Structure 1
Amino acid sequence: MSNDVAYPVFRYPDRAFALRTARRLVEFGRCGHSVVSAYAELSSFADVQAVAQAVPRGSFCGASAVEEFEGVPFEDQPSFLVGVSASDLPAEEAAYEGRLPVEWEVWGLPVGSIEDDLTAVIGPNVGLVNWQSLQWPAAPEAGFHGEATHAEVTLLFNTRTRELDGPTGDHTVLVHVRSIVCDGRQAGEPYAHWVAAQVGLAVTGPAQRS
């Protein structure tokens, strides 16, 4: 089983500009079966409502204390804490007391279906957009043979790491390649540099592993 490794190639305080930059990489590797997924940690009732209206697809899951439902079967826990659709979200703000941040996620949608809407409403919340099933082309002259399994692009909102540390006041674009470790060194890194360079970008920081 193989793994990916991601490298930052762009960071900027304007969300829309960061999205446009990420799309340059996506379009370089996009193919017929490419998809997009997204995740966000929504810190207020207003933020949940904004995302639910702008991007109604996906699942919303309220927070709970570590031991709050210990021993309670999954199917007997409140639906809001298991995951509900936008249409089933509690309508009253009081229902969110002790349930923030609300996690929202959506998987495997067509490229271009949610990115603009989420970028417009994510606000100061931490989140990400991840484009998967891309195809990095081969570059035999540079020793690169192409990559599909781990060809991805991620746009991090208000954070700089895949662990979603933060929040920060900027947004980071990551390019993913296959992780190949030889003698303790990441042999896949030159491919990330090459991919980034094809759209006028450059690796700006150390590897981020999953």
Structure 2
Amino acid sequence: MPASIDMWQGAQMSNGVPYPVYRTSDHAKALAMARRLLALGDRDDAHVSVDVELRTVAEVLEVRQVLPEAWFRTENKEFWARDVDAHEDFRCDWHAAELSEGASDLVPLLPLWASMLDQPVGSVEDAFTSLVGARYASISWGQLIWPEVPERGYYGRVEHDGLTIVFNCDDTETTRRIGTHTVCVNVHRTEGSQSYATWLAEQIGQAIIVPAVRSGSA
């Protein structure tokens, strides 16, 4: 599973299930549709997290400039495989301000992931979406409380409710697909989960695209 989605899935815990409800080739349209969904819920305690994969030095430097508060972590398997105890200064994550700008320092770390976690809603989404391009990335909103709809058997549970966009991917577990951006709603796993997710999609004139992803089939 790609690292950004693994982070998102883990944050949602085992009782949350994501449903893809909108797919587009336009980054901005994906964000606009996500915001329409976001407006349906209680956002008083909501926060947003972003994550993007970077495979070249140029990409790292661009994101470092656009997101100066981002944290970077390496996904280089050889780097991870080193004996941590044998290297006093061994680290796998760096704040943008302390990340080297030199190619000789960055190349051994590639691919890197840049993340900003638990940010105020509306603070980073536009800038982040504008830099995604063909990169694999995600925006996730957590602590969002979806409205209660008793006739669909659903009562909002803040620890499981959420919303995500995966860029250049079909949904939260499939292989990457450049140019395909998918919006998913995350709801509490119940017998009525799919019915409720369908209701959420209907509020923005959409429908569930495919059955829930493997790890969250209800």
Q: What is the aligned partner in structure 1 of residue 109 from structure 2?
A: 99
The within-5 A match list for 1:120-135 is 120-135=130-145
Percent of aligned pairs with the same amino acid: 33
The within-5 A match list for 1:16-165 is 16-66=28-78, 69-73=81-85, 76-79=88-91, 82-163=92-173, 165=175
| TM-score between the two structures when normalised by the length of structure 1 | 0.87
Deviation at 1:105, TM superposition (A): 1.5
Deviations 1:45-79 (A, max 9, x none): 12112211112223101333347643322972444
Q: Counterpart amino acid of 2:71?
A: S
Change in CA separation of 1:164 and 1:97 when aligned onto 2, cut-off 3 Å: farther
Deviations 1:113-153 (A, max 9, x none): 11001101112110100001111111223333333221111
Change in CA separation of 1:26 and 1:68 when aligned onto 2, cut-off 3 Å: closer
> Structure 2: how far apart are the matches of 1:76 and 1:157?
37
Q: How many residue pairs are counted as aligned between the two chains? A: 203
- Contact conserved, 2:57 with 2:107, CA < 8 A, in 1? no
State the secondary structure of the residue aligned to 1:6: strand
Q: What is the aligned partner in structure 1 of residue 207 from structure 2?
A: 202
> Structure 1: how far apart are the matches of 2:86 and 2:23?
40
Q: What is the aligned partner in structure 2 of residue 193 from structure 1?
A: 198
Q: What is the aligned partner in structure 2 of residue 183 from structure 1?
A: none
> Structure 2: how far apart are the matches of 1:67 and 1:98?
8
| TM-score between the two structures when normalised by the length of structure 2 | 0.84
Structure 2: tracts of 5 or more residues without a match: 1-12
Q: Counterpart amino acid of 1:191?
A: Y
Q: Counterpart amino acid of 2:96?
A: A
Change in CA separation of 1:73 and 1:203 when aligned onto 2, cut-off 3 Å: same
> Structure 2: how far apart are the matches of 1:129 and 1:104?
12
- Contact conserved, 2:145 with 2:157, CA < 8 A, in 1? yes
Q: What is the aligned partner in structure 2 of residue 10 from structure 1?
A: 22
> Structure 1: how far apart are the matches of 2:120 and 2:86?
31
Deviation at 1:165, TM superposition (A): 2.8
Deviates more, 1:97-106 or 1:62-71: 62-71
> Structure 2: how far apart are the matches of 1:161 and 1:174?
7
Deviation at 1:187, TM superposition (A): 3.6
Report the RMSD for the aligned CA atoms in angstroms.
2.2
